[in-house]
Amino acid sequence: MKKGLIVGLSIVGAIFFFIAVVVIWGISSYNNMVTLNESVNQSWSQVENQYQRRADLIPNLVNTVKGYANFERGVLTDVTNARASVGQLKVSKDVLDDPQAFQKFQAVQGQLTGALSRLLVTVENYPDLKANENFLELQAQLEGTENRIAVERRKFNEVVQGYNTSIKRFPSSIIAGVFNFRDKQYFKATAGSETPPKVEF
Could you give the domains of the chain? 36-178 (1.20.120)
CB 187, CB 168: distance < 8 Å: no
pLDDT score recorded for residue 191: 59
Q: Is the pLDDT of residue 48 over 80?
A: yes
pLDDT over 50 at 197, yes or no: no
Mean pLDDT over 64-70 rounds to 70
Share of the chain above pLDDT 90, in %: 28
Q: Looking at residue 92, what is its pLDDT? A: 72
User: Which long-range contacts does 98-101 make (Cβ < 8 Å, 24+ apart)?
Assistant: 98/185, 99/185
Q: How far is CA 77 from CA 21, 23, 112, 141, in A?
A: 63, 59, 11, 21
Residue 139 makes CB contacts below 8 A (sequence gap 6+) with 61, 120, 123
Cα torsion at 189, 91, 101, 167 (round to 10°)?
80
Check: pTM over 0.75? Answer yes or no.
yes
Which pLDDT band holds residue 34 (cuts at 50, 70, 90)? very high
pLDDT at 37: 92
For 200, other C-beta atoms within 10 Å of its C-beta total: 7
pLDDT at res. 200: 41
Question: pLDDT (tens digit, 9 = 90+) per residue, 2-33?
Answer: 776 677 778 888 899 999 999 999 999 999 99
